[in-house]
Structure 1
Amino acid sequence: MTKMLMRAGLTVFLACLITSCGIAAPPDGPVRTTQPQDCSGGTFDFGTSGGAQPLGSSDLMLQKMLEARANKQTIAMQDLAHSAGWSDEWDRMVEVGEHTERDELNSRAQTTGYCWKNLPPTSPMSDRPSDTYYLFVRNNRPVQFIQVRPSENPIILLRGVVLTKETVLRYYGSRLKPE
């Protein structure tokens, strides 16, 4: 009888532990599907440690953004890019943050049929904010990205806002904001 009570107690304890840790619970956030997708435009990988840098140094561009923020500058994106030694081979910049989904990104970046690897996580269970990516696009094709840590994010962008070379950034609060 004692063994049976101990087994029953252990079973109840394990069941409580499993459900309280979320192991048996379904995810709360959106689930990314693994269905075959139209990747006719190509595939772009945010997990390639800085990726190709045909425009110029991603690190230097981020440094120039951070300097503009620290100096409370008002500056056009094109002037910012030139100060980092970047070429003009981009049309727009879009922010890729937590919860960005493929179709939404393709719509904002105007990159029809692109698939994206290593997008920031969508899990609401994440223990820290994810890095953000600034994606630079030319002629509806992704060209380069900059990886930005949450603690150093220099630009305030509302979801869905797209920056162009002509966009002017103005210091607002503690970061740069498009006019």
Structure 2
Amino acid sequence: MKIKSLIVTAAMVPMLSGCFANQPDAEPCETNIFNFRSKEEPLGSATDFDEAARTAAQGSAPVTLGEVTRAAGWDDNWDRMFDVFLPTNSEKLYEQTQTNKNQICWKNWPEPLAIDDDHVPGGLYLFFADDKPVQAVSWPFDQKFLSTKHLSELTPQTVLIPDPSGPKLVPAP
């Protein structure tokens, strides 16, 4: 009887902590769920966003991030964007987005988009509206056309300039 009780207790300890180590999808929640594998694009097409960012990065004029999203045909219903490098976990993402598990529950984490050990894994641009994630746009390591550089987040008003070292937009100094 003591052994069964010990086994059940040992099995439940990770469940009580909120998530299993190495299994970020195990976070228990029922509301405010953001599903990384959702096919919905409430702001607009991820492909069109990538194309608009690439086009702006190949230009020479400064542009705001809001202008990039509008050029992609996106809805203006977002107020912050975070550049998330993969792999990551709940705690890092809560810290980066200044949120917590009472506000958002992350589900179906994306896999890093690395090709091999010599290349940096990819990541995603995570768009928020009113402290809630709205849409994620993934980027592979070799197709990143936008960088937050030294900023923790970008807003629609953030001015971006083409980086002369390659087709990429970076925040203006």
Q: TM > 0.5 between the two?
A: yes
2:169 counterpart residue number: 176
TM-score normalised over the length of structure 1: 0.68
Question: Which letter maps to 2:170?
Answer: K
Question: Which letter maps to 1:154?
Answer: F
1:140 counterpart residue number: 131
Following TM superposition, the consecutive aligned residue runs of length 4 or more in structure 1 with deviations greater than 4 angstroms are 33-36, 125-128
Q: How many angstroms does 1:57 deviate by? A: 1.3
Tell me how far apart the structure 2 counterparts of residues 33 and 160 of structure 1 sit (CA, whole Å): 29
1:64 to 41, 52, 60: 52
Unaligned runs of 5+ in 2: 1-20
Distance 1:159 1:107, change over 3 A: farther
1:6 counterpart residue number: none
1:54 to 42, 60, 64: 42
Tell me the number of residue pairs that the alignment of Structure 1 and Structure 2 aligns.
146
Distance 1:140 1:80, change over 3 A: same
- Contact in 2 for aligned 1:108/1:160 (Cα 8 Å): no
More displaced 10-residue stretch of structure 1: 31-40 or 127-136? 31-40
Is residue 2:34 matched to residue 1:44? yes
RMSD: 2.8
TM-score normalised over the length of structure 2: 0.70
1:104 counterpart residue number: 92
Tell me how far apart the structure 2 counterparts of residues 160 and 79 of structure 1 sit (CA, whole Å): 19
Query: Percent identity of the aligned residues?
Result: 25
Question: Which letter maps to 1:45?
Answer: N
1:155 counterpart residue number: 146
Unaligned runs of 5+ in 1: 1-30
